[in-house]
Structure 1
Amino acid sequence: MLIDSHCHLDFEALSSDLDGVMARAAAAGVTGMMTISTRVENFSTYAGLAERYANVWCSVGTHPHNAHEELHIGTDELVRLSAHSRCVAIGEAGLDYFYDNSPREAQATGLRRHIAAARITGLPLVIHSRQADADMADILEEEAGQGVFPFVLHCFTGGMELARRALALGGYISFSGIITFRNAEEIREVARIVPAGRYLIETDAPYLAPIPHRGQPNEPSYVRHTAEKLAEIRGISLEQVGAESTVNFGRLFSKTGLG
C-alpha cells in the first residue's frame, strides 16, 4: 500500500488521461493520492477532482510562484474553503528563492497567512521550500512560538540543518523521486535520519519523474520507485516503507479518516 502525498492532477500532462493515470496507480499499489492547490482561485478544480475519485483528496493554497497574484486572498478565505469535505490540507505555500517568480516579501506574507490558516483549522500546511533554508526555518520557529501548527516540507531539497529544525518543531518531511537522482546524496542522507514516524513519499507529478523514468512526465504510479529507493536508503523493506508512510499520511492528514 502506497500513497502519493503530493501531485497535481489538474496539470494537463495528467488531466488529459485521468482514468489511465488512476488505473496505472492502482496497478502499482498506490491506494490514494493528494492533488495539491497552486492557486486558491482554482480551488473548485481541485475539489472536483477529489469528489470524482474516492481515493483522492485536495488542499487549498497558493504556490509561492503565484504569491504576488493572490495577495488579496486572506486567511479567512483559506479557512472557509478548507471546510470542504474533501479538502484535508492548507497549501502548498512557502518560499522559492531558486526561481524568485514572486517577490520574496509576497512569498513570506503568503506563507504566514497559510500558517495562520493551518493553526486555526488544525489542518496540516504543505510547505514548498527551495534554496530558502535559513529563512524558512526562521519563519517556522517564529510562527511556532505563536502557536503550534502541523506541517510537512514537501519534495524535500534542503539541507540537514533545515531538516533538524523542522523535525524539532514536530514537522514531517516528504521525499520525491529526487532521491533516485545521482547528485542527491545530501537529500539521501536526510532520508536516512528522519524518524520512522515522520516521513512521507510523493511524486510532485507531473514533475521530477524518478529513475528509470527521468525525462518523462511523472505520475502517481511512479511513487513506487521513490518508495523502493527509500527502502534501500533506510535498509528496510518496500513493505515497511509503504506501511510507515501510509500510517504517517493518515496521522498528518487526519481529515482523510485514514489515521
Structure 2
Amino acid sequence: MLFDTHVHLNADQFEDDAEEVIKRAREKGVEHMVVVGFDEKTINKALKLIETYDFLYAAVGWHPVDAVDLTDDYLAWIEELSDHPKVVAIGETGLDYYWDKSPKDIQQEAFRKQIRLAKKLNMPLIIHDREAHEDIVDILKEENAEEAGGIMHCFQGDVKMAKQCLEMNFYISFGGPVTFKNAKLPKEVAKEVPLNRLLVETDAPFLAPHPYRGKRNEPSYVKLVAEKIAELKEVEFEEVANQTTENAKKLFGIS
C-alpha cells in the first residue's frame, strides 16, 4: 500500500500512455496519487484525470517559475477549484532561484498569496523549493504557514531546515534523489525525520530513482523510494509503506 503524493500524470510526457502508466503503478501497490497542477493547462488536465480515476486526487496552484503569469483572476479560479471534493491541496507553490524565469520579488509575492489562500481555505500547501532554502523558511514563518501546514515536496534542505519545517506543521517528502548513490544529504535527513512525518513521492516524469535515473520517471517507481527509506531507517518496507500512506491520508483528509 503506497501513496505517491506528488506526480505529474498531466505532463506531456504521459500524453500517449497515461493509462498504462497508471495501471503499472496500481500493480506495484500504489493505492492513491496526487496529480499536481501548476498552471492553467496542467490544472485542467489534472481535473480530467481525477474525474476519470477514483483513486487520483489533485493539487492546484501556481509554480514559482511562472509566477509572472499569476493574475488575480487565476488566483480566484484556484480558490473556486478548491471546492472540488477531490482537490486536496494548494500548490505546488514556492520559490525557484535555479531557473529564475520570474523575478524573485514576483515569485515571493505569488508564494505569499498562495499561503494566505491555503490558510483561508484550511487546506495544506505543497511547497517547491529550489536553491531558495532561507527565503522559503523566512516566508513560511512570516506568513504563519503552520496554520495551513502541508508538504515540503522533494525535500532538498539539510537536517536543520527539516526540523524548522516540522515545527511549522509540514511533512517532509522524499523522491528519487534519496536513492541516488552520491546523494548524502537527503539520506541524512531521511534518517532523522520521524516516520510519522514523512511522505514519499515520484515527481514523475522527473527525477527517476536509481536504477532508472535519467529516464522518464513514473509513479510505480515510488516503491523504490519507500524501499530506500526503509533501508536507511532500518525498518521493514511494509512499515514505511503503511505509515507514509496513513500520513498522506491524514494530511489530505482522505478516509
Identity among equivalent pairs (%): 40
Matches within 5 A, 1:132-211: 132-144=132-144, 148-211=147-210
Q: How far apart, CA to CA, are the structure 2 residues paired with 1:111 and 1:184? A: 28
Write the mapping of 1:1-259 to structure 2, written as runs, cut at 5 A. 1-40=1-40, 42-73=42-73, 75-144=75-144, 148-254=147-253, 257-258=254-255
Structure 1 residue 75: deviation in Å?
A: 4.5
Shift of 1:71: 3.5
1:72 is displaced (CA, Å) by 3.7
Letter of the structure 2 residue corresponding to residue 51 of structure 1: E
TM-score (normalizing by structure 2)? 0.96
8 A Cα contact 1:124 1:253, kept in partner: yes
Letter in 2 for 1:31: E
Instruction: Give, in angstroms, the shift of residue 44 of structure 1.
Output: 2.4
One-letter code aligned to 1:105: D
CA offset digits 1:129-153 (Å, max 9, x no partner): 01111111111111117x7112210
- Does the CA-based 8 Å contact 1:176-1:201 persist in structure 2? yes
Per the TM alignment, residue 232 of structure 1 is displaced from its structure 2 partner at its CA by 0.5
The alpha-carbon distance between structure 1 residues 69 and 76, as it changes in their structure 2 partners (threshold 3 A), is closer
Moved more, 37-46 or 2-11: 37-46
Where does structure 2 lack aligned partners over 5 or more consecutive residues?
A: none
Structure 2 letter corresponding to 1:54? D
Separation of aligned partners in 1, 2:15 and 2:197: 30
Q: Is the 8 A contact 2:62 2:91 kept in 1?
A: yes
What is the one-letter code of the residue matched to 1:212? P
**Structure 1 residue 99, shift from structure 2 partner:** 1.6
Preserved contact between residue 75 and residue 116 of structure 1 (Cα < 8 Å): no
For 2:202, the aligned partner's letter is T
After TM superposition, give the deviation of residue 192 of structure 1 in Å: 0.7
1:73: how far off? 4.1
SS in 2 for 1:197: helix
Whole-angstrom CA distance in 1 between matches of 2:148 and 2:16 = 36
Tell me, what secondary structure is at the counterpart of 2:5? strand
Please, which moves more after superposition, 9-18 or 48-57? 9-18
Listed as ranges, the gaps of 5+ residues in structure 1 are none
Does the aligned pair in 1 maintain the 2:198–2:247 contact within 8 Å? Answer: yes
Aligned 8 A contact 2:6 2:202 in 1: yes
TM-score, length of structure 1 as denominator length: 0.94
1:4 partner SS:
strand
Which 4+ runs in 1 deviate beyond 4 A? none
The answer to whether the Cα contact below 8 Å between 2:149 and 2:169 also exists between their aligned partners in 1 is yes
Task: Kindly provide the amino acid, as one letter, of the partner of residue 3 in structure 2.
Answer: I
**Which amino acid counterpart does residue 222 of structure 1 have in structure 2?**
Y
Whole-angstrom distance in 1 between the partners of 2:147 and 2:125: 11
Offset of residue 216 of structure 1: 1.1
Q: Is the 8 A contact 2:2 2:241 kept in 1?
A: yes
Whether the 8 Å contact between 1:37 and 1:92 is mirrored in structure 2 is yes
Q: Contact 1:177/1:208 (CA < 8 Å) preserved in 2?
A: yes
Would you say the 8 A contact 1:209–1:216 is kept in 2? Answer: yes
Task: Report the Cα offset of residue 43 of structure 1.
Answer: 2.5
**Cα contact 1:76–1:117 (8 A) shared by 2:** no
